[in-house]
Structure 1
Amino acid sequence: MNFKRSTTSMAIALMALSLVSMTSIQQEAFAQPQGISITATTEKAGNSITVTGTTASDYTDVTFSVWSPNQNLVAAWQDTPDNDGNFGTTFTIGSNWTEDGYYTIVVKQGTSSTYEVKVGVEVTNGMTLRSTSVTEGNLVTDIFTPNENNAATDAGLFLDPVIIENGSTMFEVTGMTDRVSQDITLKVTAPNGNVIKVDQISPRLDGNFAAEITVGGSLWKQDGLYTVTVRQFDDPKYTASTEVDILDGVVVPEFGTIAAMILAVAIISIIAISAKSRLSIIPRY
């Protein structure tokens, strides 16, 4: 009799444990997606910018705002996501887009920073200069994230010292990452904080990446330190930056390079003077 009661109690306990486990699995399996992602597309010598995106929330409208390089508002729009969370609009470059440089497109949904994303698009002389497609966002649609970084094992992204030639109108950015399936976003920021260049780099199979950056022109008219930032994920391990000194539209070597050159010349001069001095004190017979 006691054995039957014990068996019944164990069965009830197992059923309860199974229900708890199933509930936990369902909660994990159906974890709610969150975030927003956008893609800005332009055509070579075009006069429009198409912005499309996807959001995890279709309950509220998405607002768009476009800001000039000097942070003036030049365009705004609002769109309602469809049942799948997709939205989009096209901006025509108008007469108030008078500045040359990178225009920042801000897409927001609500007040949470999780639902706010920005992307930069270059406009010169009232048109887009090249065909581009730039994607930014933090949309998480599944509990399983293949690109999720493991802080214990991932090496991250590294920048090499910038390759500089004094007086050159270009410099090269090189580095390495342990994630080769994801493109790297490169951004150059002028001394006054304006973004003057945005590009995407595809790592090679060995993880190395490189990009040549040409300086000069109206966007590079400021003298000072320009910040080059590369980013592959939101993780700080996959973000790196360096500075390049630009003077009169050309690259200036770092102080360490100049100091090394001066030191080398000084050493050569000392050796030459010492050798001449030794020759002058040799006794003559």
Structure 2
Amino acid sequence: MTSAYAQVVSTSPACVGCTMEDAKMMASESLLNSIPISVWTEKADYGHSEIIMIEGRVANVASGFPVTMTVVSPLNSIVTVDQVTVAQDGSFKTTLNTAGAMWKYDGTYTIKVNYGSAEKSNKVQVELTGGVGYTPNYETPTPTKQCGANDLSANGQCIPFSISGATVTGATLNTDDNSIIISINAEDDGTLTVTPSKTIQEGIFMVLVDGEEWDDVEIVANKVTVMFPAGAETIEIIGTYVIPEFGTIAAMILAVAIISIIAVSAKSRLSIIPRY
């Protein structure tokens, strides 16, 4: 079993008259109760057509409040986000099917769980093998325009922003997840406000801070304000659309141009055929 909490190993019974197995069980129970949220899987390695059984436990149950589960791929992109019901005894369980297209790459997948706040979060990692190997491409796109002092430069696009309590160290557009990823150096608690134009991103519905779903957020149309804690490193703003990279647009333009040339050529040939 791979777990987000340490396995308890006892060399002597924890109570008078208890068996060794009882002592281990009591120690494990005590440890679970001391951790805000725990999560584990039944094994560490899986293939690409298996079911991952996920179980966990919340120490202090808030009635009707679910656990938010986020799975991150080896590409550091989100595979799935789900909410899992918590039982009255604090336990929760769910399954993940690794046969989907989002699971095709080999590597380490991180399963993160959150129960309402950053303090009540944990994670467990599993390894997938037998699929597609992934070789990261670190080539940085060449910016197509110069951005102002109050703009983020992301893949050649300029995005208005303001920030307090931190400095922005970089930004990029993630077309796989329709998101804007902003790297920051947060020495204090602070606030980030981003206002992307609808040509860059729209349909904003979720914000992640360091990979965790974040509630301390205000979204008004395409204006997003995020209150982040000291030490935060990454803020990801997720929408239903983000502008494709230039290469995709260029390919579309090229395809249209080729079709137009073929159509014009065909028409020209027809016009010079002699008529009798």
TM-score (norm 2): 0.32
Q: Report which of the two has the higher share of helix.
A: 1
Higher-RCO chain (CA-CA 8 Å, sequence separation at least 6):
1
TM-score (norm 1): 0.31
Q: Report which of the two has the higher share of strand.
A: 2
